[in-house]
């Protein structure tokens, strides 16, 4: 048999085996054994350069540790046969090399090396095809049940689970595109309170996929800076690798994006990309079939609308009209606003209405009462803390400034904030960043601040209890809510509104107010303002039993028959002081006569109709006649 003949036989053998093999190891074992006899060779090995190491894939006639890798490195470097003593090496492409000992015929060696390289390629293709088939089978297996379920939540969970499993990732989320609100709704959003993550539709990698309709693979040193860290901050999760594909329905409608995070080993591959694309195609069909898709997207909208409807600022008095119109005018600015007024005058109501008529309405409204927490707790509540920042800080936590980002943060009782808290607040207002307690990294936040107080902040500035720079910053626009006693007939509007609401929840018909009861309500000083009135109406709804609300039902009104304990503001102008005194004196007299206006007028030496006129002049309400 000629040498040429043996070489050809070896080549045929190699190609034959490569078309049957499904595993590279099996193929190499057969090929090397055959070549040892055919070439012939004393020993053979196939190695892979995997810097800084070498991987020995197969050996014949030599233990693994005796395979010389330097000669293989030489061969790869010059892309040609290399020699070292009785050893030779030939490159096989893609970092693979064949290493042989005691081969005399270099031309046979080269022929064998090239058929071995071709054979390895064939086996690799078979392996890829097999993996693809297995992946498709697995996809069919997991997606089989999807068509049956009509429950969006279950479906989304199943999809995320299938993706994490199939792609060996740590997490997966499906982002549905809420076009109307330019938002992406992430489900399931593990680690987020109430399981829903909403981000602007142009944020981060998912945003790019939505807008370009193209797959993105990021992380592990490639485009890391594009990962949206603010989402990580919300979830407390550290994203290192991301694969995100568009979620497109069969008729080409872009429904959202399917994202997997953190490949357990290494980075997401092109094969992972194909796998997720296939899974996404199935997911899109299943999702389209659930009627809940629309519901999910509209649910949030409905919740926002409900919340917005719940915030009603009742009142027609000129002072309230003025507040309402200023609120509308400044709602869509990002200005920090100071809302002033006694306790219970509706400062939070104003803050909420401003939020719900602004373009921030789809984002959170968060209220914090600065007087309710100790100095340390308040700072960690507002600015968040890093792990170990203080004894109980077992893990890092985002503060309200971060959580409210994109929305509104209402800081009630701002006068009670510590000076160091005030310094941090100023920083948020000036450069839109917060630094967590115990941390040093500034975190960006797009929050709008509305602050409220019933204290005299200017006086506090003089006493050095409140930072002057912060005061000026907050005081650019301020809104003043008048006490209820100065809102005239609004008292009755509010009383009827509250009584109606409470009676409806109790399933009870709302009783009307007797004329005497109305007068009594209008004459009261309302030291607790709207809150006091609301509480009173709640008690009446539960406790009164008559067809109408009578003066006797109002016995709960504080100091209704009490002494005249009110005082006139000694800093007021004479005309205001006189007005205040007259209001108080009339109220006191009406209280004494238990709301009997004729008796009250008599005691005051006035005709009854003159008393009503006087009350109207003094903004005390007072529509005519019982
Ligand atoms: N104009 C209004 N229309 C309807 N309800 C109101 C109005 N003003 C206040 N309320 C109701 O009165 C109660 C007290 O209002 P709110 O909490 O807004 O007052 P506040 O000034 O923020 O009080 P505090 O200073 O004590 O925090 C709430 O139940 C609120 O819904």
Tokens in use for 449?
């601040």
Longest dimension (CA), the chain: 142
Q: Tell me how far apart the terminal alpha carbons of the chain are, to the nearest angstrom.
A: 131
Question: For a pocket test of ligand 1, which of 323, 337, 348 has the largest count of ligand atoms closer than 8 A to its C-beta?
Answer: 348
Which residue's CA is minimally distant from atom 29 of ligand 1? 531
Is 430 within 8 Å of 445 (Cβ atoms)? no
Instruction: For residues 315 and 330, give the distance between their C-alpha atoms in angstroms, rounded to a whole number.
Output: 20
Distance CA 621, CA 278 (A): 71
Q: What is the mean pLDDT of each run of 10 residues along the chain (626 residues)?
A: 77 88 90 94 93 89 94 94 95 94 92 92 84 73 67 78 87 85 75 65 87 86 67 70 90 88 86 87 79 58 67 90 93 92 92 90 84 81 82 77 88 90 88 86 88 92 94 90 92 95 87 92 88 88 86 68 56 80 83 76 83 82 52
Q: List C-alpha distances in Å: 25 to 14, 21, 47.
A: 14, 9, 12
Per-residue pLDDT, 117? 93
The candidate with the shortest Cα–Cα distance to 179, out of 308, 294, 291, is 294
Atom of ligand 1 at shortest distance to CA of 349? 18
Single out the residue of 279, 275, 223, 243 nearest to residue 170, CA to CA. Answer: 243
For residues 117 and 14, give the distance between their C-alpha atoms in angstroms, rounded to a whole number. 10
Phi-psi map region of 195: left, alpha, beta (phi>0 left; psi -120 to 50 alpha): left
**pTM of this structure:** 0.51
The SS3 of residue 386 is coil
State which ligand 1 atom lies nearest to the alpha carbon of 341.
21
- C-alpha–C-alpha distance, residues 598 and 613, integer Å: 14
Beta bridge partners of 82: 89
User: Do 463 and 489 touch, CB atoms closer than 8 A?
Assistant: no
Q: Are strands 82-84 and 87-93 parallel, antiparallel or unpaired?
A: antiparallel
Using the atom order of ligand 1, give the atom closest to the CA of residue 314.
3
Strand extents, DSSP E, 141-273: 169-178, 183-187, 197-200, 216-219, 241-248, 254-263
Q: Which ligand 1 atom lies nearest to the CA of residue 497?
A: 4
Burial of 77 (0-12, 13-18, 19+ CB in 10 A): exposed
Instruction: Report the alpha-carbon angle 260-189-368, nearest 5.
Output: 140
Mutate to test the pocket of ligand 1, among 308, 315, 531, 538 (most ligand atoms within 8 A of CB): 531
Q: What is the dihedral of CA 608, 610, 611, 617, to 10 degrees?
A: 160
Q: How far is CA 81 from the centre of its chain?
A: 60
Q: 448 pairs with which residues across the strands?
A: 408
CA of 123 to the centre of ligand 1 (A): 75
* Neighbouring residues of 339: CB distance < 8 A, sequence distance ≥ 6: 347, 350, 351, 450, 451, 452, 453, 478, 479, 481
297 neighbors 176 (Cβ within 8 angstroms): yes
pLDDT at 59: 95
Burial degree of 531 (CB within 10 A; 0-12, 13-18, 19+):
middle
Distance, in Å, from the CA atom of 619 to the CA atom of 514, rounded to the nearest integer, reads 21
Q: Point out the ligand 1 atom lying closest to the alpha carbon of residue 345.
A: 21
Closest C-alpha to ligand 1, atom 12: 531
Give one word for 220, left, alpha or beta, with left for phi > 0 and alpha for psi -120 to 50. Answer: left
Residue 349 CA to ligand 1 center (angstroms) comes to 6
Report the pocket of ligand 1 as residue ranges, CB < 6 Å. 312-315, 341, 343-349, 412, 452, 454, 530-531, 534
Structural domains in the chain? 3-131 (3.30.450.40), 149-298 (3.30.450.40), 311-482 (3.40.50.300), 485-617 (1.10.8.60)
Q: List beta partners, residue 98.
A: 46, 90
Query: Nearest-CA neighbor of 590 among 526, 491, 544, 521?
Result: 521
This model of the complex carries an ipTM of: 0.98
- Which of 323, 349, 371, 489 most suits a substitution to test ligand 1, by most atoms within 8 Å of the C-beta? 349
State in Å: Cα 346 to ligand 1 middle: 3
Residue 561 has a pLDDT of 42
Q: How far is the CA of 344 from the centre of ligand 1 (A)?
A: 5
DSSP state at residue 615:
H
Task: Tell me how far the alpha carbon of residue 402 lies from the centroid of ligand 1, in angstroms.
Answer: 26
Count Cβ atoms below 10 Å from residue 276 Cβ, excluding itself. 25
Identify whether 188 is preceded by a cis peptide bond (ω within 30 of 0). Answer: yes
Predicted local distance difference test score (pLDDT) of residue 625: 44
- Nearest atom of ligand 1 to the alpha carbon of 490: 1
288 C-alpha to ligand 1 centroid (Å): 44
Q: How far is CA 341 from CA 328, 354, 411, 528, 529, in A?
A: 19, 16, 14, 12, 10
How many angstroms separate the CA atoms of 213 and 208, rounded? 8
Q: Whose Cα sits closest to atom 26 in ligand 1?
A: 343
Nearest to 587 by CA among 557, 607, 549, 609: 557
**Ligand 1 mean position, distance from CA 475 (Å):** 21
Give the burial class of 617: count Cβ atoms within 10 A of its Cβ; 0-12 exposed, 13-18 middle, 19 or more buried.
Answer: exposed
């Amino acid at each position: 048999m000629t040498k040429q003949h043996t070489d050809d036989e070896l080549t045929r053998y190699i190609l034959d085996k490569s078309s049957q093999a499904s595993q590279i190891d099996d193929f190499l074992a057969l090929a090397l054994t055959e070549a040892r006899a055919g070439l012939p060779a004393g020993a053979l090995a196939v190695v892979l350069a995997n810097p800084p190491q070498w991987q020995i894939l197969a050996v014949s006639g030599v233990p693994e540790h005796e395979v010389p890798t330097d000669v293989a490195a030489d061969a790869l470097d010059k892309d040609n046969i290399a020699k070292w003593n009785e050893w030779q090496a030939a490159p096989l492409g893609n970092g693979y090399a064949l290493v042989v000992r005691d081969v005399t015929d270099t031309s046979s060696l080269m022929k064998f090396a090239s058929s071995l390289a071709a054979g390895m390629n064939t086996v690799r293709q078979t392996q890829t095809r097999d993996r693809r088939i297995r992946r498709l089978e697995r996809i069919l297996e997991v997606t089989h049940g999807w068509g049956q379920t009509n429950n969006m939540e279950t479906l989304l969970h199943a999809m995320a689970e299938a993706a994490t499993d199939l792609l060996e990732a740590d997490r997966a989320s499906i982002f549905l595109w809420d076009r109307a609100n330019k938002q992406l709704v992430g489900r399931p959003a593990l680690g987020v309170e109430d399981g829903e993550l909403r981000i602007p539709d142009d944020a981060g990698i998912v945003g790019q996929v939505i807008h370009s309709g193209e797959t993105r693979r990021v992380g592990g040193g490639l485009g890391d800076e594009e990962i949206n860290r603010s989402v990580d901050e919300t979830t407390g999760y550290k994203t290192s690798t991301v694969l995100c594909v568009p979620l497109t329905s069969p008729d080409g409608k872009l429904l959202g994006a399917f994202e997997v995070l953190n490949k357990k080993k290494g980075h997401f591959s092109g094969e992972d990309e194909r796998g997720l694309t296939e899974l996404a195609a199935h997911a899109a069909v299943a999702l389209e079939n659930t009627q809940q898709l629309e519901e999910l997207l509209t649910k949030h909208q409905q919740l926002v609308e409900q919340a917005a409807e719940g915030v009603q600022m009742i009142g027609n008095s000129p002072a309230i009209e003025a507040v309402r119109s200023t609120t509308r005018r400044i709602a869509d600015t990002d200005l920090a606003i100071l809302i002033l007024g006694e306790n219970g005058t509706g400062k939070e109501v104003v803050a909420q209405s401003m939020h719900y008529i602004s373009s921030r309405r789809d984002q959170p409204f968060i209220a914090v009462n600065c007087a309710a927490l100790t100095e340390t707790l308040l700072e960690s509540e507002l600015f968040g803390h890093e792990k170990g920042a203080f004894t109980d800080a077992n893990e890092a936590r985002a503060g309200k400034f971060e959580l409210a980002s994109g929305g509104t943060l209402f800081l009630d009782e701002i006068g009670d904030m510590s000076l160091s808290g005030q310094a941090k607040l100023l920083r948020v207002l000036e450069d839109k960043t917060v630094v967590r307690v115990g941390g040093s990294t500034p975190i960006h936040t797009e929050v709008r601040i509305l602050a409220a107080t019933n204290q005299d902040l200017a006086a506090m500035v003089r006493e050095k209890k409140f930072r002057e720079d912060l005061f000026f910053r907050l005081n650019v626009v301020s809104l003043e809510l008048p006490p209820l006693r100065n809102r005239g007939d609004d008292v009755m509007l509010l009383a009827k509104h509250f009584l109606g609401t409470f009676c409806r929840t109790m399933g009870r018909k709302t009783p009307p107010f007797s004329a005497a009861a109305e007068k009594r309500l209008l004459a009261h000083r309302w030291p607790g303002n709207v809150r006091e009135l609301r509480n009173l109406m709640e008690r009446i709804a539960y406790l009164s039993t008559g067809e109408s609300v009578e003066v006797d039902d109002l016995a709960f009104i504080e100091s209704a028959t009490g002494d005249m304990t009110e005082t006139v503001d000694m800093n007021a102008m004479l005309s205001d002081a006189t007005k205040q005194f007259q209001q108080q004196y009339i109220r006191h007299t009406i209280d004494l006569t238990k709301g009997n206006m004729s008796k009250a007028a008599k005691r005051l030496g006035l005709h009854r109709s003159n008393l009503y006129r006087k009350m109207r002049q003094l903004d005390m309400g007072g529509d005519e006649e019982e």
